[in-house]
Amino acid sequence: MAILSGSCRFGLWNVHVSWQDDLVYRVRFAREGIPGPVPEEILRYCAGRPSDLSTLRSVATEGETTFARIYRAVREVPCGETVTYGEVAWMVGTAPRAVGAAMARNPTPLVVPCHRVVAKTGIGGFSPDLAIKEALLAMERQRDVCMPEKGEVNR
Protein backbone atom coordinates (compact mmCIF):
# COMPACT_ATOMS: atom_id res chain seq x y z
CA MET A 1 0.00 0.00 0.00
CA ALA A 2 1.24 3.47 -0.86
CA ILE A 3 2.25 6.17 1.57
CA LEU A 4 -0.62 8.53 2.33
CA SER A 5 -0.45 12.30 2.56
CA GLY A 6 -2.86 14.85 3.91
CA SER A 7 -3.07 17.87 6.14
CA CYS A 8 -5.13 19.22 8.97
CA ARG A 9 -5.43 22.62 10.57
CA PHE A 10 -3.59 23.86 13.63
CA GLY A 11 -4.37 27.49 14.22
CA LEU A 12 -3.17 29.53 11.28
CA TRP A 13 -1.05 26.65 10.02
CA ASN A 14 -1.64 23.46 8.12
CA VAL A 15 0.03 20.29 9.31
CA HIS A 16 1.16 18.11 6.43
CA VAL A 17 1.59 14.44 7.25
CA SER A 18 3.07 11.61 5.18
CA TRP A 19 2.30 8.27 6.74
CA GLN A 20 1.34 4.64 6.43
CA ASP A 21 -0.45 2.68 9.14
CA ASP A 22 1.11 3.77 12.45
CA LEU A 23 4.39 4.87 10.87
CA VAL A 24 4.90 8.55 10.17
CA TYR A 25 7.49 9.58 7.59
CA ARG A 26 7.14 13.31 7.58
CA VAL A 27 5.34 16.13 9.38
CA ARG A 28 5.69 19.76 8.42
CA PHE A 29 3.94 23.05 8.98
CA ALA A 30 2.82 24.93 5.88
CA ARG A 31 0.63 27.86 4.94
CA GLU A 32 -1.46 25.90 2.49
CA GLY A 33 -3.46 22.77 3.15
CA ILE A 34 -3.56 19.70 0.97
CA PRO A 35 -6.40 17.23 0.57
CA GLY A 36 -5.94 13.75 1.95
CA PRO A 37 -6.04 11.65 5.11
CA VAL A 38 -4.24 12.35 8.39
CA PRO A 39 -3.75 9.86 11.24
CA GLU A 40 -6.61 9.96 13.71
CA GLU A 41 -4.42 10.80 16.70
CA ILE A 42 -2.91 13.80 14.93
CA LEU A 43 -6.37 15.00 13.92
CA ARG A 44 -7.50 14.80 17.51
CA TYR A 45 -4.36 16.50 18.80
CA CYS A 46 -4.59 19.42 16.39
CA ALA A 47 -8.24 19.86 17.32
CA GLY A 48 -7.30 20.11 20.99
CA ARG A 49 -9.05 16.86 21.87
CA PRO A 50 -7.53 14.12 24.06
CA SER A 51 -5.02 12.15 22.06
CA ASP A 52 -2.03 9.89 22.48
CA LEU A 53 0.66 10.55 19.89
CA SER A 54 2.81 7.81 21.39
CA THR A 55 0.66 5.28 19.53
CA LEU A 56 2.37 6.47 16.36
CA ARG A 57 5.89 5.60 15.27
CA SER A 58 8.35 7.90 13.51
CA VAL A 59 11.02 6.98 10.99
CA ALA A 60 13.23 9.49 12.83
CA THR A 61 13.65 7.18 15.82
CA GLU A 62 14.92 4.23 13.79
CA GLY A 63 18.58 3.30 13.78
CA GLU A 64 21.49 3.80 16.13
CA THR A 65 22.67 7.22 15.00
CA THR A 66 23.02 9.95 17.60
CA PHE A 67 20.07 11.80 16.12
CA ALA A 68 17.86 8.71 16.39
CA ARG A 69 18.82 8.33 20.04
CA ILE A 70 18.05 11.99 20.64
CA TYR A 71 14.64 11.61 19.00
CA ARG A 72 13.87 8.55 21.13
CA ALA A 73 14.80 10.47 24.29
CA VAL A 74 12.56 13.36 23.28
CA ARG A 75 9.65 10.98 22.77
CA GLU A 76 9.94 10.08 26.48
CA VAL A 77 8.94 13.61 27.49
CA PRO A 78 5.34 13.46 28.68
CA CYS A 79 2.65 15.63 27.17
CA GLY A 80 2.40 18.93 29.01
CA GLU A 81 5.97 18.82 30.31
CA THR A 82 9.24 20.22 29.02
CA VAL A 83 12.95 19.46 29.25
CA THR A 84 15.96 21.53 28.25
CA TYR A 85 18.33 20.85 25.38
CA GLY A 86 21.03 20.26 27.97
CA GLU A 87 18.96 17.64 29.83
CA VAL A 88 18.32 15.71 26.64
CA ALA A 89 22.01 15.92 25.83
CA TRP A 90 22.86 14.52 29.24
CA MET A 91 20.40 11.63 28.80
CA VAL A 92 21.80 10.67 25.42
CA GLY A 93 25.42 11.42 26.21
CA THR A 94 26.00 14.22 23.74
CA ALA A 95 26.20 18.02 23.72
CA PRO A 96 23.36 20.54 23.97
CA ARG A 97 24.12 21.99 20.55
CA ALA A 98 23.81 18.58 18.96
CA VAL A 99 20.31 18.36 20.44
CA GLY A 100 19.44 21.75 18.99
CA ALA A 101 20.66 20.66 15.60
CA ALA A 102 18.63 17.45 15.82
CA MET A 103 15.50 19.39 16.74
CA ALA A 104 16.02 21.79 13.87
CA ARG A 105 16.07 18.87 11.43
CA ASN A 106 13.36 16.81 13.09
CA PRO A 107 11.46 15.25 10.16
CA THR A 108 8.39 14.49 12.27
CA PRO A 109 7.50 17.22 14.75
CA LEU A 110 4.53 16.38 17.01
CA VAL A 111 5.32 12.66 16.75
CA VAL A 112 8.78 13.52 18.05
CA PRO A 113 7.66 16.36 20.32
CA CYS A 114 10.53 18.75 19.75
CA HIS A 115 8.32 21.59 20.98
CA ARG A 116 8.74 20.19 24.51
CA VAL A 117 12.48 20.84 24.38
CA VAL A 118 13.25 24.35 25.56
CA ALA A 119 16.39 26.33 26.33
CA LYS A 120 17.61 26.55 29.89
CA THR A 121 16.83 30.25 29.74
CA GLY A 122 13.81 30.95 27.58
CA ILE A 123 11.83 28.91 25.14
CA GLY A 124 14.47 28.08 22.54
CA GLY A 125 13.72 28.04 18.85
CA PHE A 126 11.26 26.49 16.44
CA SER A 127 10.91 26.67 12.70
CA PRO A 128 9.07 27.71 10.68
CA ASP A 129 7.57 29.89 13.42
CA LEU A 130 8.25 30.13 17.13
CA ALA A 131 4.57 30.97 17.62
CA ILE A 132 3.72 27.36 16.79
CA LYS A 133 5.88 26.11 19.66
CA GLU A 134 4.28 28.58 22.03
CA ALA A 135 0.80 27.55 20.91
CA LEU A 136 1.55 23.83 21.27
CA LEU A 137 2.96 24.26 24.76
CA ALA A 138 0.08 26.49 25.83
CA MET A 139 -2.42 23.97 24.50
CA GLU A 140 -0.80 21.06 26.33
CA ARG A 141 -0.69 23.05 29.55
CA GLN A 142 -4.19 24.39 29.53
CA ARG A 143 -6.46 22.02 27.69
CA ASP A 144 -6.81 18.31 28.30
CA VAL A 145 -5.25 17.19 25.03
CA CYS A 146 -2.98 15.00 27.11
CA MET A 147 -4.32 11.54 27.76
CA PRO A 148 -4.31 10.72 31.46
CA GLU A 149 -1.32 8.58 32.39
CA LYS A 150 -1.89 5.03 33.51
CA GLY A 151 -2.65 5.15 37.22
CA GLU A 152 -3.10 8.89 37.24
CA VAL A 153 -6.74 9.67 37.76
CA ASN A 154 -6.88 13.33 38.55
CA ARG A 155 -4.77 16.27 39.39
Binding region for DNA (CB under 7 A) out of 6-14, 52-60, 91-99, 144-152: 91-99
Options 98, 135, 144, 147; binder of DNA; rule CB under 7 A: 98
CA separation (Å) from 17 to 34, 50, 111? Answer: 10, 19, 10
CA separation (Å) from 148 to 8, 49, 52, 105? Answer: 24, 12, 9, 30
Residue 13 is classified by DSSP as E
Judged by beta carbon, residue 114 or residue 146, the one nearer DNA is 114
Tell me how far, at minimum, the Cβ of 47 lies from DNA, in Å: 22
| Interface positions, 8-67, toward DNA (CB under 7 A) | 65-67
Cα 114 to chain center, whole Å? 5
Per CB under 7 A, does 94 bind DNA?
Answer: yes
Residue 114 annotated to the active site: yes
